[in-house]
Chains A and B, each alone.
Chain A
């Protein structure tokens, strides 16, 4: 069974950097795409980025390109989402997701528990 376990909540100030994580287990990490979905308070779901751990090939939504960086560390089966300079508008719940064994053009059948990021001065 695929499990995605995310890092805990983070409280940051505007301009600070942040890296949140998602550890995958129950499968061969390098073979399943893994990505991130944002949910702002009281709002809907937005797909941000996805990466293939096998070769670190990443794809970004145009809305998030240049704003965040997705990466992986295969040695510890972990994906990351990183900000260099946070803004108050980055306040949201971030979900780690995976389309599983069926590959890139598949729905997200596995979700992490979410990481709440709060950016406030």
Chain B
């Protein structure tokens, strides 16, 4: 099983700042199998990025992703108030599918 570890657990930033979230895997896999999701309180998660860097439908271009092998990054270039949420990475190339534990992005 591929274990995904996200860091930091909590990130405190202000609107307008840049956010960088990390996802590290216990073993290397192809970046085409890495996704990022956003979850707001009381809502189902929403797919943000897939294949490490491709934005899902309707996702603004301030969200970007990068990485390969075991290290992946989600970057939000300029935080909007609606971006404060919990973010999860997920690998979907091997079974069982696994998620990281999440990074909570909170308003400073």
- From the candidates B1, B47, B102, name the one contacting A107 in the complex (CB within 8 A): B47
**B46, B57, B92: which has the most chain A beta carbons within 10 Å?**
B92
Which A residues touch B46, using CB under 8 A?
111
In the complex with contacts A107-B50, A114-B44, A45-B92 CB distance below 8 A: no
In the complex with contacts A63-B96, A106-B50, A109-B47, A44-B102 CB distance below 8 A: yes
Check B44 against A109 for contact (C-beta < 8 Å).
no
B23-58 contacts to A, CB under 8 A, are 33, 35, 37, 39, 44-47, 50, 56-57
Check B47 against A44 for contact (C-beta < 8 Å).
no
- From the candidates A46, A60, A63, A105, name the one contacting B99 in the complex (CB within 8 A): A46
Interface residues of B, count at CB 8 A: 24
Q: Give Cα distance in the complex from A59 to B92, angstroms.
A: 13
- Number of residue pairs spanning A and B whose beta carbons lie under 8 angstroms apart: 57
Which B residues touch A46, using CB under 8 A?
99
Which A residues touch B44, using CB under 8 A?
95, 111-114
- From the candidates A47, A105, A108, A112, name the one contacting B96 in the complex (CB within 8 A): A47
A66: interface (CB < 8 Å): no
4 more CB-based (< 8 A) A-B contacts, given A108-B90, A109-B56, A111-B45: A45-B37, A95-B45, A107-B50, A107-B90
